[in-house]
Amino acid sequence: MTILSLVGIVVGAIAGAGLIWLAILAATRATRLDRLNVRVDLAYEALVAALERRAVVGRTIAAADPDADGAQELSAAATDAEAAPRGEREAAENRLSVALARMAGANRAPALVAELADAQTRVTMARRFYNDAVRDARALGGRRMVRWLRLGGHSTLPEYFEITERVSGAR
């Protein structure tokens, strides 16, 4: 055997090992991205559940005192927030937050106040979990290898969900 053939064998082995390493790395990144997208979907479902609960509490508050100033607006905002499509959900939830703040001065039962506080806390936590999952998915989806090899397919990166959770002051 000549030295040139030995060098060719060594170079071929190194190139083959590099391709195997690249394939393993790509498969690992694709699996991680898939898991992150599942996490984003599950976190969004939990966020929607928390938002719907807050809307139900808002409608209950409006129904408890229908003659109060802003009760009809609160009920309408809660219904609109629940029915809003995904792209318009943030704006609808912000209108519900404002309507809830306007009803803050109304005479409410302590049970409704506690229920609203619990619903608001759950919305805050669910939004944070969702935005954390979105941040992680966007970070991995924006990496060069993931983009160049199209490990995420042709899907778009998830978007953050930003709402005003608590509005201080009435009117």
pLDDT of 153 reads 81
H/E stretch holding 125: helix 110-141
State what percent of residues in the chain have pLDDT above 90.
60
**Residue 80's Cα: distance from chain center in Å?**
20
pLDDT of 106 reads 64
How buried is 156 (Cβ within 10 angstroms: 0-12 exposed, 13-18 middle, 19+ buried)? exposed
Distance CA(62)–CA(149), nearest Å, equals: 53
Given a cut of 60, whether residue 8 has pLDDT beyond it is yes
pTM greater than the 0.75 cutoff: yes
For the chain, the structural domain boundaries read 31-171
CA 169-76-84 angle, 5° bins: 100
Give the pLDDT confidence of 114-131 residue by residue, as tens digits.
Answer: 899 899 999 999 999 999
pLDDT of 72 reads 92
Distance CA(122)–CA(131), nearest Å, equals: 14
Residues 6+ apart with CB under 8 A from 162: 90, 131
pLDDT of 168 reads 57
Q: Which CATH number fits domain 31-171: 3.30.70, 1.20.1740, 1.20.1440, 1.10.3470?
A: 1.20.1440
Residues 6+ apart with CB under 8 A from 22: none
Mean pLDDT of the 28-34 span = 91
Q: How confident is the model at residue 152 (pLDDT cuts 50, 70, 90)?
A: confident
Q: How confident is the model at residue 155 (pLDDT cuts 50, 70, 90)?
A: confident
